[in-house]
Amino acid sequence: MAFQRPTLQELIDRIQGDFVSRLALSGAVLRRSVVYVFSRVWAGAAHMLHGHIAFIARQVFPDQSEAEYL
């Protein structure tokens, strides 16, 4: 089974859930709260890293790599 790259929304939901559980928040996360902003920023960074890893993984195979990586 191949690794499935999580979508940006999945990463946001995971990270926001982690913040809520670890901080023991009882109410909903408001749109302008620190938890909301941090979860989106961390998810964006993780999504970018997942994309970079996927790009590097494609460069391993000659039929999928770009000319400069051959």
Render each residue's pLDDT in the chain as its tens digit; 70 residues.
Answer: 477 899 999 999 999 999 988 998 888 888 888 999 999 999 999 999 999 999 998 899 899 898 888 8
The pairs formed by 41-46 with CB atoms below 8 angstroms and a separation of 24 or more are 42/15, 43/8, 43/11, 43/12, 43/14, 43/15, 44/8, 46/11, 46/15
pTM: predicted TM-score of the whole model, two decimal places: 0.81
- How many other CB atoms are found less than 10 A from the CB of residue 12? 20
